[in-house]
């Protein structure tokens, strides 16, 4: 289990942010951390734990991340 960052108020928020980020990664978003894993769910959890994922409060739709360009 990853350590929950101080800016998150609950485990639920951690899981929800990681799930949303994993969807972005599966859609082709570029990972923001170097990871030994290729699984989007694990990479997403590492990103949230590292604090590189913007905290989303749920009042507005999350901003979509641009997919990676092929061949880059």
Longest dimension (CA), the chain: 39
What per-residue confidence (pLDDT) applies to 54? 85
What per-residue confidence (pLDDT) applies to 68? 65
pTM here is 0.76
Domain coordinates in residue numbering, the chain: 11-50
User: In order along the chain (72 residues), what is the average pLDDT of each group of 10 residues?
Assistant: 81 92 95 95 95 78 65 52
What per-residue confidence (pLDDT) applies to 3? 81
What per-residue confidence (pLDDT) applies to 66? 63
Alpha-carbon span 32 to 30, nearest angstrom: 6
What per-residue confidence (pLDDT) applies to 65? 67
What per-residue confidence (pLDDT) applies to 55? 81
């Amino acid at each position: 289990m990853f350590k929950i960052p101080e800016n998150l108020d609950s485990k639920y928020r951690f899981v929800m942010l990681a799930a949303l980020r994993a969807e972005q990664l599966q859609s082709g978003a570029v990972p923001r951390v170097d990871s030994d894993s290729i699984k989007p769910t694990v990479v997403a959890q590492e990103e949230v734990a590292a604090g590189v994922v913007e905290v989303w409060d749920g009042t507005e739709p999350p901003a979509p991340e641009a997919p990676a360009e092929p061949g880059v």
